[in-house]
Chain A
Amino acid sequence: MYVTENGEKIFVIDSHVHVWDARPQNRRNHYGQTFIDTFYGAHVALTPANQRWDADRFNYYGAAGAAKDLFEDGYCDMAVMLPVYLRDFYINGFNTTELCATLKDLHPEKVVLNGRCDPREGQMGLDKLEEDFETYKFQGVKLYTAEWNGVSRGYSMKDDFVAPYMEKCRSLGIKNVHIHKGPTTHPLDYDAFDVRDVCVVATNFPDLNFVIDHCGMPRIDDFCFVAGQEPNVYGGLALIPSYLHARPKFFARMLSDLLFWVGPDRLLFGSDYAITSPKWIVEKFMEFEFDDETAHEAGTQLTLDVKRKIMGLNAAKLYGIEVPDEFQLSKA
């Protein structure tokens, strides 16, 4: 919960959280090091100097560390976990469902645990998804289309082997599909991070919600186009509010484009923890206002109600979380 100067209470759901293990003993190869190096570069680049971590803590902070950063210091009422395996780089996986579950064990009522699947794994992957679902009963899954898997360097949501996984989600009652579409990390994966492939699944599975993590960044314009025509596509903001400290103007510019094209009801706050931590992001976001020109471009000022939606109410709807009256939109 964040409380404004005027005593208004904001319900905060961090919709993009990881618990990872990038310690040297878990790195399978050179890529394991360079992957976390790049994350750490982003951490240093984006985080205010007095709140940066050292590289050791960044490698592994554990569930207790995450609980403190999110729920004690970071204003979060709840956190949505998004597993990313990267087994080609990390022996036991980078940010597995099991690792994410350790945070849920500490705070079962605050943590929304999602699963993951990789449609390239065929029947074996479908069985595993079902097995994980039996164990964790999650409402959402994460797909990382640029993940390496053996000789494959990524896949598209348009690939034929994806639909059976969407069917499986539908039959199990998994309604939220998170798709990572962020900054490009591999050439051959320019396609794999291309956000336009989401149109096909969003149209074919109108009863599922598709949360595009990082809003396709840096191809926000493509994302806006997709979200503009598909009502079941949502923007996972993670990484965009992380610009608030180092590049506030560009944060404003990205958010105003998103508000204009997608609107305030389908954007979800995320800190991208632990690349960046919610404490300073929530504080800066709640204090942030558009200048007149930006508000004009966005079609709206960043009103308290717009902030309430982005910070928590939108995610609460997706995950069926009951939010007490005191956090609801201002009565007109």
Chain B
Amino acid sequence: MPVSPRQQEVLAAISAVRDPEIDETVAALDFIMAVDVEDDAVTVTVRLPTFWCPANFVFLMAQDMRAAVMALGWPASFRMQLVEHFAADEINRGVNGGLPFEEVFPQARSGLDELRRSFDEKAFLMRQGTLVRLLRRAGLEDAYLLGVGIAEVGGLCRQTGGELAEAWQAYLAKRQKIGLGDGESDLVVSDIRGRPVDDLPAHLREIRGVSTNAHANGEMCRMLVAARREGGGCSLVQSGRQAP
């Protein structure tokens, strides 16, 4: 199947959308089945590992995909086509109509903002954990790390380059996302409110817990995606995976 430049553009844009719980891209998790572009009308077909994947998470990803596509400028419309999901109709209708989650699922106990915030906070901690482990490996002492500000560490990371620079960029992006300050001496190692930490090993252990959850879930996702290709999982639609 030929892939047009516009299809490629759309695919690149939505591939960067992340599963909010696992903090990995929908491309890495293999959720995108097809991208169709007719003139300036975009349709994205998405299939998740199971029929029962939580609709609030799906809704977040679908909203993000819509925003990523519309940000390209040329698309006049975006249609989400979630398939093989218990709430496909509601989610497709909600996202395509630009409706809030609470309106589509009036029974929900809480809206999505709180959920999004909590995922961002967890992602911030996990990225901080990754960064701190790399800094420790580079020879920096715990006592120094507990007190150092973002300007100093940012400079060091950019200078060193490689995975340290990448980890720094990822950390900084989430730091901004959850609204932490950007003052030179604002602490690199902190809780989600920016408050200092006394005990680095204990702090890293807490982060490890958050990250264990995310990884266990991410691995389950990937295993289910793989199993579905081998004939396990949802048997409703027998059609194979379409190349975008």
Query: Is B160 interfacial (CB 8 A cutoff)?
Result: no
Contacts of A44 in B (CB 8 A): 227, 230-233
Known: A43-B232, A188-B105, A218-B216. A246 touches B223 (CB 8 A): yes
Q: Which of A151, A221, A243 contacts B210 (CB 8 A)?
A: A221
On whether the beta carbons of B105 and A250 are closer than 8 Å, the reply is no
A200 shortest CB reach to chain B, Å? 17
B40 at the binding interface (Cβ < 8 Å): no
Q: Is the CB of A257 within 8 A of B227?
A: no
Task: Assess whether B208 is in contact with A38, with CB atoms less than 8 Å apart.
Answer: no
Tell me whether B86 is interfacial, beta carbon within 8 Å.
Answer: yes
A31–B236 alpha-carbon span in the complex (Å): 11
CB-CB contacts below 8 Å: A186-212 with B: 186-191
A 258-271 to B, binary, CB cutoff 8 A, 1 in contact else 0: 00110000000000
Task: For the complex, give the distance between the alpha carbons of A46 and B233 in Å.
Answer: 12
Q: Which of B110, B115, B223 contacts A46 (CB 8 A)?
A: B223
Question: Does A185 lie at the interface of the complex (its beta carbon under 8 Å from any beta carbon of B)?
Answer: yes
Q: Say yes or no: B216 contacts A186, CB within 8 Å.
A: no
Does the CB pair B224–A37 fall under 8 Å? no
Q: How many A residues, CB 8 Å from partner?
A: 41
Q: Are A35 and B223 in contact (CB under 8 A)?
A: no
CB atoms of A42 and B52 under 8 A apart: no
A219 within 8 A of B: yes
Judged by a CB distance under 8 angstroms, whether A166 is at the interface is no
Indicate if the CB atoms of B107 and A188 lie closer than 8 Å.
Answer: yes
Name the distance in Å between B64's Cβ and chain A's nearest Cβ.
Answer: 16
Known contacts A41-B49, A188-B108, A218-B217: A34-B86 contact under CB 8 Å: yes
Q: Which of under 10, 10 to 19, 20 to 34, or 35 or more describes the interface residues of B?
A: 35 or more
Residue ID in chain B nearest A156 by CB atoms: B109
B residues near A37, Cβ cutoff 8 Å: 50-51, 233-236
CB pair A185 B52 closer than 8 Å:
yes
Q: Which B residues are in CB contact (< 8 Å) with A45?
A: 220, 223-224, 226-227, 232
| Bound complex: CA A183 to CA B54 (Å) | 9
Instruction: With CB as the reference atom, state the residue of chain A lying closest to B223.
Output: A45
Chain A residues near B58: list those with CB within 8 A. 187
Known contacts A45-B226, A220-B209; A187 and B215 CB within 8 A of each other: no
Interface hits, B65-113 → A, CB 8 Å: 86-87, 105, 107-110
Q: Which of B108, B110, B216, B230 contacts A220 (CB 8 A)?
A: B216
Residue contact B223 to A221, C-beta cutoff 8 Å: no
A31 nearest CB neighbor, chain B only: B86
Q: Does A149 contact B (CB under 8 A)?
A: no
Most A CB contacts (10 A, CB to CB) among B108, B227, B234, B235 go to B227
Judge whether A92 is part of the interface by a CB distance below 8 angstroms.
no
Contact call B52/A35, Cβ cutoff below 8 A: yes
A41 x B234 contact (CB < 8 A): yes
Asked if B212 and A34 make an inter-chain contact with CB atoms under 8 angstroms apart, the answer reads no
CB-CB < 8 A to A185: which residues of B?
Answer: 50, 52, 54
Given contacts A38-B50, A41-B228, A187-B105, contact A221 B219 (CB under 8 A): no
- Chain A residues with CB below 8 A from B57, complex form: 187
Given contacts A40-B232, A40-B233, A243-B219, contact A221 B52 (CB under 8 A): no
Q: Are B56 and A187 in contact (CB-based, < 8 A)?
A: yes
Q: A188-B105, A220-B213, A221-B212 are in contact. Are A38 and B230 (CB under 8 A)?
A: no
Distance in angstroms from B57 CB to nearest chain A CB is 7
Q: Say yes or no for A224: interface residue by CB 8 A criterion.
A: yes
B87-A220 in contact (CB<8A)? no
Within 8 A of A (CB), among B37-53: 49-52
CB distance A187 to B87 under 8 Å? yes
In the bound complex, CA of A132 to CA of B126 (Å): 47
* Interchain CB contact under 8 A, A218 and B230: no
How many whole Å from A286's CB to the nearest CB in chain B?
22
Residues of B within 8 Å of A186, CB to CB, are 52, 54-55, 86
Q: How far is the CB of B206 from chain A (nearest CB, A)?
A: 8
Chain A 1-42 interface 0/1 with B at a Cβ cutoff of 8 Å (1 = within): 000000000000000000000000000000101110110111
Type the 1/0 row for A50-90, where 1 means its CB is closer than 8 Å to any CB of B: 00000100000000000000000000000000000000000
Q: Across chains A and B, which 5 residue pairs bring their CB atoms closest together, nearest first?
A: A44-B232, A41-B233, A221-B209, A187-B55, A45-B223
Given contacts A220-B213, A297-B208, 19 further A-B contacts (CB under 8 A): A38-B50, A38-B51, A40-B232, A41-B234, A42-B223, A45-B224, A153-B107, A187-B58, A188-B107, A188-B109, A191-B110, A220-B212, A221-B206, A243-B216, A247-B223, A250-B215, A253-B212, A254-B216, A261-B209
Q: Identify 20 residue pairs between A and B in the complex whose beta-carbon atoms are under 8 Å apart, listed by A's number.
A: A34-B51, A37-B235, A38-B234, A42-B224, A42-B232, A44-B227, A45-B224, A45-B226, A55-B235, A183-B220, A185-B50, A187-B54, A187-B58, A187-B59, A187-B87, A187-B108, A188-B108, A250-B219, A253-B216, A261-B209
Chain B interface residues (CB < 8 Å from chain A):
21, 49-52, 54-59, 86-87, 105, 107-110, 115, 205-206, 208-210, 212-217, 219-220, 223-224, 226-228, 230-236
